[in-house]
A and B are shown apart, each in its own frame.
Chain A
Amino acid sequence: DGGITQSPKYLFRKEGQNVTLSCEQNLNHDAMYWYRQDPGQGLRLIYYSQIVNDFQKGDIAEGYSVSREKKESFPLTVTSAQKNPTAFYLCASSSGTDTYSGNTIYFGEGSWLTVV
């Protein structure tokens, strides 16, 4: 089945540690995204990539890093510089704009990160 796979689903991080969230898609989409969602709030864009080996900062990139070495993979590292990382992280992808579906974004199941 085509889709977006995020792992792990639940992750606990000690203060001062870096952690990496995995995101893989087999939809052959060019664009990939990372969003952060805090409880009861909307989505905020962390980073996005519209093509392999290129990515741009979103609205809240500080304390995060990404790479896009392969089309299907877009891992997110939450560094120790991110002061309040406890949140729900959503990876997403899209085919880019087209006539019929625009830029519909398809989401993974999400990863819950908790700082302990």
Chain B
Amino acid sequence: ELKVEQNPLFLSMQEGKNYTIYCNYSTTSDRLYWYRQDPGKSLESLFVLLSNGAVKQEGRLMASLDTKARLSTLHITAAVHDLSATYFCAAEAVTNAGKSTFGDGTTLTVKP
């Protein structure tokens, strides 16, 4: 059974600082997704990582995938208040393509 763990679960940071959210998964997977959820809202897709070494960047967010370490990271550069949200990673097991398993989410609060 695929398990996905994120850490930290809660993150409070000051504007302008950098930080990394980690996503570990338990079984072989080469498909990793990052989503963002604003309070009381639905989820929207941020990044799709489909191979070992994949790196995607959008604005102040950069996601990477290391399939050998079973690890994905979401790096935040020079945080701004608008990035405050909950970030979820999700992985698909190679043996169960099409069914994503989600982590518990990391709630990010960016303070002035």
Give the interface of A toward B (CB within 8 A): 31, 35, 40-43, 45, 48, 50, 90, 94, 96-97, 101-110
Contacts and interface: CB of A to CB of B under 8 A. Distances in A.
B77 interface: no
Interface in B33-73: 33, 35, 41-45, 48, 50
B98 interface: yes
Nearest to A6: B42
8 contacts: A42-B102, A97-B97, A101-B48, A102-B31, A102-B33, A102-B50, A103-B97, A104-B48
Interface in B62-94: 88, 90, 92
Chain B interface extent, by class: 20 to 34
Contacts of A101: 48
A41 B104 contact: yes
Tell me what chain B mostly uses at the interface: helix, strand, loop, or mixed: strand
A30 to B, nearest CB: 9
Interface of B: 31, 33, 35, 41-45, 48, 50, 88, 90, 92, 97-105, 107
Given A102-B33, A102-B50, A105-B45, A42 B100 contact: no
Given A42-B88, A42-B105, A43-B88, A105 B42 contact: no
A48 B43 CA distance: 17
A45 B45 contact: no
Contact of A106 (B45, B48, B102, B107): B45
